[in-house]
Amino acid sequence: MTSSGYVQTMREDLGLTGDEFAGQLGVNPRTLRSWESGRDSVPDRIQAEIAEMLAERDHQVDALTADLAAAGSPAVVPVWRSDAEMHAARPSLYPHPARWWRHVVARTTGQVDGVIVETHTIVDLPDWELLEVYRFGPDRAVRAGWEVVDMEARHRVVVAEAERRGLLPFPFDFDL
């Protein structure tokens, strides 16, 4: 049985907020809070899902470590302040938040000498547009504000998420 302390510890180790972790587990954030507080028991399937998340993170750490070791010193690793910037620059990291990537980089820098961590910003990337953003909860969409995004990268992210959720192929074609 998975304990409440385990769930919170692994969430923090992955560098995820409660809402981000709940989203990746496919549960309501209130449900996650009830598990972490010990109010409700944690379903057995959650331990397996957390193990997959940890394995993916460890795979990213190993891959980045190997790439940096092969590159020699000094090696530059980019990090981003916002999820939108990271997803535009590295769509393969979707649906992980930028905070998760920074945790991967932090683990890697301890294993390879001469690593330079650089914060990349939106001005480092071309072809940006302003996009109204909605966050999707379990039962409704909530306007979350505005993000400046690379529309082509955003399209790739939307398609990847639709594939992950089993929503593709779309019943219609569309272009950017």
What domains, with CATH codes, occur in the chain? 4-124 (1.10.3100.10)
Distance (Å, whole) CA 51 – CA 57: 10
Side chain identity, residue 15: G
* pTM over 0.75, yes/no: no
pLDDT, tens digit, for every residue of 139-166?
A: 555 545 545 555 666 666 666 666 665 5
Q: How many CA atoms within 13 Å lie on the side-chain side of 115?
A: 20
pLDDT of 122 over the 80 cut: no
Look at 46-50, 124-128, 164-168 and tell me which has the smallest mean pLDDT. 124-128
